[in-house]
Amino acid sequence: MNLTHPFEDADGDKLREECGIFGVLGARDAAAMTALGLHALQHRGQEAVGITSFDGQEFYSRRGIGHVAANFSSGQALAELPGMMAAGHVRYSTTGGSGLRNVQPLFADLAAGGFAIAHNGNISNAMTLKRDLVNKGAIFQSTSDTEVIIHLVATSRYPTLLDRFVDALRLVEGAYSLICMTPEGMIACRDPLGIRPLVMGKMGDAVVFASETVALDVVGADFVREVQPGELVHVTLDGRISSHRPFGSPAARPCIFEHVYFSRPDSVMGGRSVYEVRKAIGMELAKESVVDADLVIPVPDSGVPAALGYAQQSGIPFELGIIRSHYVGRTFIQPSDGARNADVKRKHNANRALVAGKRIVLIDDSIVRGTTSLKIVQMMREAGASEVHFRVASPPTEHSCFYGVDTPERSKLLAARMDVNAMAKFIQADSLAFVSIDGLYRAVGEAARSSGSPQYCDACFTGDYPTRLTDLLERESAAGQLSLPVEKVA
């Protein structure tokens, strides 16, 4: 969600969803409920968290670096956030002095009243819009793309906050699921393509919005429906709910990677259990790329459901051949004597007694840079596995995401640099296979990918971006070059 180039933050070997949002209106302990809801969405952003509440008179904000539990579990922290309406945000953030200023919800005192905003996604023309606003005298307090929306609201000529907000969104391009608060109530909306998720729930008279259904479960709310792509739901302080469609009805293209990896397996998304979809991907994979082996072993934890599907479909026993430590924190200083790959071992350890002498199939959700996959394969061989086959529950990840996901620069993506054979060699696997793009679409219930009008945003696999990428184009044209296709090694 930063204006900083999305390539520059990525150093991990997983794509990272960058935000989770939660809001509630009409609950006596709105902030406590928001803290609980954000805790359930912590996998969507672990580095910073903020909550803003409204008590009918004033807005209150509290932000922190770190986990929800570390910042919002004390009674004192919650006592600073009175009122029956609250919204919150978890995010990945870059560290440093300016850190707290970028933690959401962002808040501003506008002439029309207080305005708080929590955003999941990324605005792909934010830099261009910011430059225009600054030229007109706007003063930015953060480096977040989200602040652009606030200034557009502040300078809109429309009379009401709701109209100003719609006016602002018409100028904005990219992916956004938003939860906003005004002195009149709460606004939840999704961009016209519905790239990032947003669901609506109810608990008694209270209305709840959240990135995933699991947050409804944890607070005890009932799922009502998804906020529709391009829909804006307005809930007034006294509980009246209205739905608006300012952008007409374009065809939706929600992110398919939410099913593959980002969302929790116990969430339901687009009407389907994420767990069941992941098992179905594993089954498709077993059908497409069966192998003669003794054990199916998931790369924990994200590979587990697909591995169960693969095992059930193939009849090869599912076993825990890799044990994951729950105590993963900062990287340790590597002892100079021995301890090869200690860093991967402190997270994952081979279950040697099980693996020794066996032919195994490893199942993972995706391959990004490939460095971790390589270490895992090596660890299995050191533990005595006689054959190591690698199966991936998504197609090759060849393209960067510009819609709120932290992806490495394209040239760092293994699948952008190599074909499947070269990748297999790189990770030292005896064989490697990915589920096909149509296999993935089948797992989410489609017959196949509709190439003319794809049902999902699958740009990371296909390069087919559903919106313009204004800031990127401008950066590249300023640099005197377009982003050229990366040439693959075979």
Residues noted as catalytic: 19
Letters for 188-207 (x = contact with a copy of itself by CB under 8 A, - = none) are: ---------------xx-x-
Q: Which of 95, 240, 330, 481 binds a copy of itself (CB under 8 A)?
A: 330
Q: Decide: is 240 part of the binding site for a copy of itself (CB under 8 A).
A: no
Q: In the complex with a copy of itself, which residue's Cβ is closer, 42 or 436? A: 42
- Is residue 273 a contact point for a copy of itself (CB under 8 A)? yes
Candidate segments 190-198, 249-257, 320-328, 366-374, binder of a copy of itself by CB under 8 A:
320-328
- Whether 343 has a binding-site annotation, put simply, is no
Interface pick for a copy of itself out of 15, 161, 218, 283 (rule CB under 8 A): 218
State the Cα–Cα distance between residues 368 and 264, nearest whole angstrom.
19
Region of 271-279, 369-377, 415-423, 458-466 interacting with a copy of itself (CB under 8 A): 271-279
Q: How far is the CB of 179 from a copy of itself (least distance, A)?
A: 18
Are 355 and 400 contacting, i.e. CB atoms less than 8 angstroms apart?
no
> 180 among the known binding-site residues?
no
Q: Which stretch binds a copy of itself (CB under 8 A): 2-10, 241-249, 273-281, 426-434?
A: 273-281
Closest by CA position to 98, among listed 63, 70, 72, 69? 63
Closest CB 416 distance from a copy of itself, rounded Å: 30
* Residue 401 annotated in ligand binding: yes
- Stretch 425-454 residues interacting with a copy of itself (CB under 8 A): none
Q: What letter would DSSP give residue 31?
A: H
**What mask of x and - would describe binding to a copy of itself in positions 42 to 81, judged by CB under 8 A?**
xx--x--------------xx----xxxx-xxxx--x-x-
# residues contacting a copy of itself (CB under 8 A): 92
The nearest distance, CB 196 to a copy of itself, in angstroms, is 21
The rounded Cα 453 to chain-centroid distance in angstroms is 23
DSSP string, 322-372: EEE-S---SPPPPPSSS-TTHHHHTTEEE-HHHHTT-EEEEEES--SSSHH
Enumerate the H helices of 383-482 as residue ranges. Answer: 414-417, 420-427, 437-443, 459-462, 470-478
Contacting residue, 55, 64, 65, 138, with a copy of itself by CB under 8 A? 138
Distance of CA 440 to the CA centre of its chain: 18
Which residues are CB-contacts of 175 (< 8 A; sequence separation ≥ 6)? 121, 122, 123, 124, 191, 193, 195, 196, 255, 403, 404, 467
Of 304 and 457, which CB lies nearer to a copy of itself in the complex structure?
A: 304
Residue 189, marked binder? no
Take residue 470 and report the two structure tokens written for it: 């204004």
The DSSP letter of residue 250 is P
Q: Residue 17's beta-bridge partner residues?
A: 405
Neighbours of 424 (CB within 10 A): 18
Min separation Cβ 436 and a copy of itself, Å: 25
Q: Which is nearer to a copy of itself, 72 or 247 (CB)?
A: 72
CB atoms within 10 A of CB 273: 17
Q: Based on CB atoms, which residue is closest to a copy of itself, 84 or 424?
A: 84
| Smallest distance, a copy of itself to C-beta of residue 70, A | 6
Give the span between the Cα atoms of 362 and 140, in whole angstroms.
Answer: 48
Task: Map the footprint of a copy of itself across residues 332-361, applying CB under 8 A.
Answer: 332-340, 342, 345-346, 349-354
Report the candidate in 179, 177, 125 with the shortest Cα–Cα distance to residue 152.
Answer: 125
Instruction: Kindly tell me which of 248 and 329 has the beta carbon lying closer to a copy of itself.
Output: 329
Nearer to a copy of itself, 123 or 206 (CB): 206
Helix or strand holding residue 304 (H, E): helix 304-314
- Alpha-carbon gap, residue 121 to 172, rounded angstroms: 12
What is the C-alpha to C-alpha distance for residues 411 and 392, in angstroms, rounded to an integer? 20
Minimum CB distance to a copy of itself smaller for 339 or for 448: 339
Site for a copy of itself in 80-99 (CB under 8 A): 80, 97
Any binding-site annotation on 302? yes
Backbone angles phi, psi at 287, to 5 degrees: -65, -45
- φ, ψ of residue 346 to 5 degrees: the values are -75, -15
Task: Report 144-173 residues binding a copy of itself (CB under 8 A).
Answer: 150-151, 154-155
Residue 33 is inside which H or E element, if any?
helix 30-40
Least distance in Å: CB of 8 to a copy of itself? Answer: 17
Q: Does position 390 bind a copy of itself by CB under 8 A?
A: no
Q: Which residues are annotated as a binding site for Mg(2+)?
A: 302, 364-365
Q: Which residues are annotated as a binding site for [4Fe-4S] cluster?
A: 255, 401, 457, 460
Q: Which residues are annotated as a binding site?
A: 255, 302, 364-365, 401, 457, 460
